[in-house]
Amino acid sequence: MQVTSKGPILLIYPPYFRLIGEQRIWYPLGLGYLSSYLKADGFSTVVYNADAETRLEEKVIPYREKFYESKKIVTNAHSNSNPIWNELKEVLKRTNPKIIGISILTETMPLIGKITSLCKEFSQNAPVILGGPHTTVDIQSLSHVDNWDYAVVGEAETSFSSLVKQISSGKSPSADIGGLVRREGSKLIINGDFAAYRGRLDFLPFPEICDMFDFNSQVRGKMKKTMISTSRGCPFRCTFCYMNIYRRKTRFRTAKNVTDEIKLNMDNYGISKFYFNDDSFGVNRKFLKDFSEIVKKEKLEIKWSCMTHEKIVNPENLRLMKEAGCDSIHIGIESGSDRILSLLRKKTTVDRIIKKCKLITDFGIKVKAFFMFGIPSEREEDLRKSISLVEQIKPYEAILQVYVPYPKTELWNYITQKYGDPAEFYNWESFYKSKINYAMFPEISPQTFDNLVEEFFSVVENINKTNRVY
C-alpha cells in the first residue's frame, strides 16, 4: 500500500474509563515507547489517548461502579452519540495521519470495530495497524474485526518501525518482520514468532509526554504522576496471567537509565511522582540496590509506588525501597483462600500474606491490595475468606476486580476441561466485565454469588472511603 499523505503517524489508545464516567489525565506508556522509537527513526508521531480527559478536573470512580457500569462499553461501541467519537474524528482531521496505530486491551475489544471504521471513513489510504496486549493474548479474535490492514504481536517497537519504513517506501511488508500479522480474506497470516528483545532494555528511547495530542501548559499542569517501566517479563508463573503465554525471560534496564528518565520528567514536566508498572518490581536485587544508591547520592526528591510479588517483600528490600522514595506498594493478593491461591499458583499462603502486609506497613509504606472474584471453582467459603482477609490486613487501598480468562493460559485450559470452552461464553466483541460466567463456580447459586460480590464491594469501598482514596 503506497502512502501519499504527509501527516504524522497517529497512535491511538482507545477509551475505556471515560466511557464509564471516570476522568483522568495520564500518558499510555506502551504507546509512549512506540512513539519515541519511531521518532528516533525519523518519523513524526502523535499519541492520542482517548481515555484521558484533558479538559476537565480528574474524577476517579469507585471499583464497584467500574464493575457495574462496564456494560456501557458495549452500548457505546454501537452508538454515534458519544462525544468521544466526534473527538476522534477531530483528532484525525487535525493530525491528518499517514499511518494509524491502535493499541488494544481485552476490555476495549468491543470498541475496535468502531474505531477502525472511523479511521477508514477518514482515509482509505492510511494503513491501520493493530497492536497492544490483546493482539498477543488472542490474535485470532481480530479476524472478526473489519477495516484494518496489519497487526503486530509482541514487543512492537522494532517490528512496527520496520513495517512503517516499508509501507512509507511503497514496499510490501517483508516476511522477516517478526510478529507481523496480515489478512488474506478471513485468514490471518503471522510472520515468525512473538517479537521480543533480549538483554538490557536501555536501548529504548524514553517516552515523552509532549508527544501527547494537544499537549499544552494546562495539561502539563495537571500531570502530577507518570508511569515508568524498569523491566519487561515476569519470573513468576501465575496460571491466570497472559504474560506466561510466551514465557519470555525477564529483561531489565539499568538503574542509571531509569534515573535518567526520572530526571527528564522532573526537568521537562515538573513531575516527581511515579508508578513503576513492572509486573514484579524489585525482582532484580542489584537494580534495587543501585537505584536506591543513585536516588540518595543525587538527592532526587521523588515519591513512587510499584507492583510487586509477595516473595520479594523482605526487610532489606523494603529498606532500600523506602530510602529511595517508595510510599506505597501494590500486592496481587487475589484471594483469601489457600485452595484458590494454589490453583492460581501464587506460591504463597494467607498467613504469609498477612505477615508481609504487616511488614510493609511497619516500614511506613502503604499497602494497596489487589483481589479478584469469579475465579473458576470458587465456593462461598472462598469468597468469604477473601472478604475476611481484606478486613484483616486493612490495606490503605483495596482493589477488587473480576477474573477474566485469557486464551492459552493454564487457567483457560483448566476451565475448558472442567466447565467447557470459555470461548463459547467470552465473545470479545461483546465482552464487558460484569458479564459473569456462573458455570465456572457451580457450587454457588448465581444469586448467592451476586450477593457475596456486593458484600465484597461494600467492604472494599468502606476501606477506600475511610482512607479517602477517591
Segments making up each domain of the chain, as ranges? 9-190, 224-466
Helices and strands counted in the chain (H then E): 16, 15
**What is the Cα Rg of the chain in Å?**
22
Grade residue 246 by pLDDT with cuts at 50, 70 and 90: low
**What backbone phi and psi angles, to 5 degrees, belong to 263?**
-65, -35
Would you say residue 251 has pLDDT above 60? yes
Please enumerate, as own/partner, the contacts of 417-425 that have beta carbons within 8 Å and a separation of 24 or more: 418/376, 418/377, 419/376
Q: How confident is the model at residue 3, as a pLDDT?
A: 46
Would you say residue 1 has pLDDT above 50? no
Would you say residue 197 has pLDDT above 90? no
Q: How confident is the model at residue 194, as a pLDDT?
A: 65
Instruction: Summarize pLDDT for 87-110 with one digit per residue, the tens.
Output: 999 999 999 999 999 999 999 999
CATH 3.40.50.280 for domain 9-190, yes or no, is: yes
Would you say residue 118 has pLDDT above 50? yes
Q: How confident is the model at residue 441, as a pLDDT?
A: 96
Q: Give me the residue label for grid cell 517483508.
A: 174
Cell numbers given for 379:
465456593
Instruction: Summarize pLDDT for 267-314 with one digit per residue, the tens.
Output: 999 999 999 999 999 999 999 999 999 999 999 999 999 999 999 999
397-405 mean pLDDT? 97
Would you say residue 244 has pLDDT above 90? no
Spell out where 390-450 has E strands: 397-402
158: nearest Cα among 199, 104, 132, 197: 197
Interhelix angle 83-95/109-122, nearest 10 degrees: 40
Mean pLDDT of the chain: 93
Second CATH level (architecture) for the domain 224-466:
Alpha-Beta Barrel (3.20)
Higher pLDDT, 168 or 315: 315
How many Cβ atoms from other residues are within 10 Å of residue 180's Cβ?
Answer: 26
Whole-angstrom Cα distance, residue 216 to residue 461? 35
Question: Do residues 71 and 35 touch, judged by C-beta distance below 8 A?
Answer: no
Whole-angstrom Cα distance, residue 261 to residue 230? 10
Residue type, 395: P
At 75, which helix (H) or strand (E)?
A: helix 72-77
Instruction: Summarize pLDDT for 198-210 with one digit per residue, the tens.
Output: 778 999 999 999 9
Cell numbers given for 73:
462499553
Q: Give me the residue label for grid cell 512509507.
A: 168
Grade residue 174 by pLDDT with cuts at 50, 70 and 90: confident
Q: How confident is the model at residue 247, as a pLDDT?
A: 55
Q: How confident is the model at residue 172, as a pLDDT?
A: 81
Residue type, 283: V
Instruction: Summarize pLDDT for 39-72 with one digit per residue, the tens.
Output: 999 999 999 999 999 888 889 999 999 999 999 9
Question: Do residues 77 and 108 touch, judged by C-beta distance below 8 A?
Answer: no
Q: How confident is the model at residue 5, as a pLDDT?
A: 43
How many Cβ atoms from other residues are within 10 Å of residue 80's Cβ?
Answer: 9
Grade residue 248 by pLDDT with cuts at 50, 70 and 90: low
Residue type, 66: K
Grade residue 184 by pLDDT with cuts at 50, 70 and 90: confident
Q: How confident is the model at residue 2, as a pLDDT?
A: 45
Would you say residue 217 has pLDDT above 90? no
Label each residue of 133-188 as H, E or C.
Answer: HHHHHCHHHHHHCCCCCEEECECCHHHHHHHHHHHHCCCCCCCCCCCEEEEECCEE
- pTM as predicted: 0.94
Q: How confident is the model at residue 218, as a pLDDT?
A: 85
Q: How confident is the model at residue 94, as a pLDDT?
A: 96
Using the CB atoms, write b or e for 400-412: b if 16+ within 10 Å: beebbbbbebbbb
Grade residue 170 by pLDDT with cuts at 50, 70 and 90: confident
Percent of the chain with pLDDT over 90: 83
Higher pLDDT, 405 or 193: 405
Would you say residue 11 has pLDDT above 50? yes
**What backbone phi and psi angles, to 5 degrees, belong to 129?**
-115, 125
Cell numbers given for 306:
510499584
Question: How do 326-334 and 303-308 pair as beta strands?
Answer: parallel
Q: How confident is the model at residue 183, as a pLDDT?
A: 86
58-62, 170-174, 346-350: least confident range: 170-174
